[in-house]
Amino acid sequence: MKKRIALISEHASPIAAIGGADTGGQNIAVAELARHLAALGYEIDIFTRWDDRRLPKTLNWRDGIRIIHVEAGPVTFIPKEKLLPYMTAFTKDMLRFIKAENNRYKLIHAHFFMSALVAADIKQKLGIPFIVTFHALARVRRIHQGRNDWFPDEGFAIEERVVAEADQIVALCPQDRDDLINLYQADPGKITVIPNGFRPDEIYPLDKLFVRMALKLDPKEKIILQLGRMVPRKGVDNVIKALGYMRSKHNFEARLLIVGGESDEPDPGITPEIGRLQKLAKAEGVSDLVTFVGRRTRDMLHYYYSAADVFTTTPWYEPFGITPLESMACGTPVIGSNVGGIKSTIVDGKTGFLVPPNDPVLLGRRIIELLSSNKLMMYFKENAIRHVNESYTWMKATHLTANMYERIATQSPLRAEDEDDSLSYIDDSFEALIETIEKSRRKIRLATLDSAQAIYRSLARGGKVLVCGNGGSAAEAQHFAAELVGRFEATGRRGLPVMALTADTAFVTAWANDFTFEEVFARQVEAYGQPGDVLVVISSSGQSPNLLKAIRAARKREMFCIGLLGKEGGAAGELTDINIIVPSNETSRIQEVQLHVLHVLSHLIEQQIMADDQNVIQITEEWSISQFQMAGLSGKTADKRKIRHESTKCDR
């Protein structure tokens, strides 16, 4: 039985165009959370306000995800600051939908304070527990924006009520958690810190020269990128002032690309903030250095991140900030404000720099420092890619969220007394395995074939295969070696030189005890590995230090590296030549599919080796017969010799 979850995001639809005044990080967060929850087996309904009659009331968006457009006020765009009066209608329409479909939601996850108001009212009527991610807190926003904050004052009381009534609160960063406790007296036991993330299959580094050619940018120019919503609090004016300081005080010039706005063209009539920034650029004497690009689709963003030398983001405040993650994922260092979520995602002096939010002079100096040192830029680039892939992916965020859901759902009074948890678990586990296998079949078949061919080529040239892993993966490594040294399906084939590094328990325990467990596999690779050999690492996460060091040791010995991984590949996925990444975040599902992949590899390798051995035998027989014939032996005698040869043939 699949678990149905309701997400509420009253103004931030997952299908809205990103980059406008009311569309940004929350839209992305809701979309990605829904996508990844569905991949884990949840059924997701996203409730968002209906603002376009061209869209159906119920949209089957993706497998396992529906978007429910709720009638709340006129079916047209309304700024989010003016939506609060329509939340009563939103609640009524959502209740009608729930009752009409007889849906038994395990829980509701509300995004933003108005969605949380709806969730709190529904909890009162139906008893459904709810979780809230605020994305921005009214008191914090008012502190930083003052009169520029146009949300009604009623938001303060609503947030206080929601904090008290929510079953759990998601804080996006440590600062968010502190604000909830200090400004709202939130119960620390009800707060879970779960940062937003990025998708490695969507945001990844591209060759700088290639993307600059594709975007028609000067390949030699120093480029600063500013990307995001075009609103005053994002601090784009701070970057323009820094550009003016750099030119006037240091005679240092760089191109500033500003991506964002309400339209594909940078139209001040549609996006007033662009007009204000254009005037500022002129006043600072840098109009010729500033290029307003307009809004761009998400599939183009990693082109801009990769084309830039540095990404700047200096808002007055920022509850989290997804764009710094995306920039670092593309290997572009970030200079960001030392506020909110940004100060927790950027590692100052390692993946970029942190600066005060309104200090264009210091910002300009940091930009010059970074752009003047290729060594520093490369250092930041390598650290940035590693940092975000280890800590800030949507898969990791979703795994943490799902754990929280299960914790809340098990405490819910909605659980039926006759619900058989054990049988439900068995059914769900089979369904999850079947779903993972289906996804794997589509996604990893080519990588599996490439891996089999790489191992075969090494063995055919006289090379060998080293295999390693930890825990359950160690058992799978030994299983794989046993299949190839012994036999998998084919009888009569020769043994193949495949060694499971975990099998040498005397060495592993001695080296781990006397030196460090992180070096045990690397040490064996140094001892046994030769150029042209293959190293296979098996891991459900791809993060184990001893595996990473083994791969680096194999690289030094010019070995070919294959990763049989899960959970998006982890750090190991960046180091191996071929990745077979099982598309799941559950360790048990990953290991089950990995064992199947090892059996498939064994079959493919074995069949190719057998075919080669038969070819050698056939060639040897033909050569022997021809020699007999040349010696004047009769065909009958030759046939007898052939029979004798069959009885004594051996593998090459």
pLDDT in tens, 7-64: 999 999 998 876 555 567 899 999 999 999 999 889 999 999 999 999 999 999 999 9
Decide which of 643 and 161 is more confident: 161
Residue 345 has pLDDT above 70, yes or no: yes
pLDDT at site 514: 87
Average pLDDT, the chain: 89
Which candidate, 247, 205, 236, places its Cα nearest to that of 337? 236
pLDDT at site 2: 63
The CA distance from 96 to 91, in Å, is: 9
Which candidate, 41, 31, 46, places its Cα nearest to that of 3? 41
Q: Was 479 annotated as part of a binding site? A: yes
At CB < 8 A and 24+ separation, what contacts does 99-105 make? Answer: 103/4, 103/6, 103/45, 104/4, 104/414, 105/4, 105/5, 105/6, 105/45
pLDDT tens digits for range 424-452: 557 667 877 888 888 888 789 889 998 99
Q: Mean pLDDT across the stretch 488-505?
A: 89
Domains of the chain plus CATH, in order, are 4-193 (3.40.50.2000), 208-390 (3.40.50.2000), 443-599 (3.40.50.10490), 609-648 (no CATH)
Strand order in the sheet with 352-355: 290-294, 255-259, 223-227, 310-313, 334-337, 352-355
Q: Was 599 annotated as part of a binding site? A: yes
Residue 98: phi and psi, rounded to 5, are: -60, -45
pLDDT at site 436: 84
pLDDT at site 640: 40
pLDDT at site 298: 86
pLDDT at site 568: 83
Q: Was 471 annotated as part of a binding site? A: yes
The first and second tokens of residue 131, run together, are 């979780």
Q: Residue 635 — pLDDT band, cuts 50, 70, 90?
A: very low
**Cα end-to-end distance, the chain, whole Å:** 55
The CA distance from 570 to 539, in Å, is: 9
User: Checking phi first, is residue 493 left (phi over 0); if not, alpha (psi -120 to 50) or beta?
Assistant: beta
Residue 291 has pLDDT above 60, yes or no: yes
Q: Mean pLDDT across the stretch 349-367?
A: 96
Decide which of 602 and 648 is more confident: 602
User: What string of DSSP letters covers 546-596?
Assistant: HHHHHHHHHHHTT-EEEEEEEGGGTGGGGT-SEEEEES-S-HHHHHHHHHH
Q: How much is the pTM?
A: 0.63
Q: Was 492 annotated as part of a binding site? A: no
Q: Mean pLDDT across the stretch 578-595?
A: 90
Percentage above 90 pLDDT, the chain:
69
Q: Was 470 annotated as part of a binding site? A: yes
Residue 569 has pLDDT above 50, yes or no: yes
Decide which of 332 and 619 is more confident: 332
Residue 221 has pLDDT above 90, yes or no: yes
Q: Mean pLDDT across the stretch 593-608?
A: 92
pLDDT tens digits for range 508-538: 999 988 888 999 999 999 999 999 999 999 9
Q: Was 263 annotated as part of a binding site? A: no
Residue 419 has pLDDT above 50, yes or no: no
Maximum mean pLDDT: which of 224-238, 276-290, 381-395: 276-290
pLDDT tens digits for range 106-139: 899 999 999 999 999 999 999 999 999 999 898 9
pLDDT at site 418: 43
Q: Which 8-state DSSP code applies to residue 350?
A: T
Q: Was 472 annotated as part of a binding site? A: yes
Q: Mean pLDDT across the stretch 191-196?
A: 94
Q: Was 250 annotated as part of a binding site? A: no
CA distances from 146 to 123, 233, 277 (A): 33, 11, 21
pLDDT at site 536: 97
Most distant pair of Cα atoms in the chain: their distance:
109
pLDDT at site 401: 93
Decide which of 23 and 359 is more confident: 359
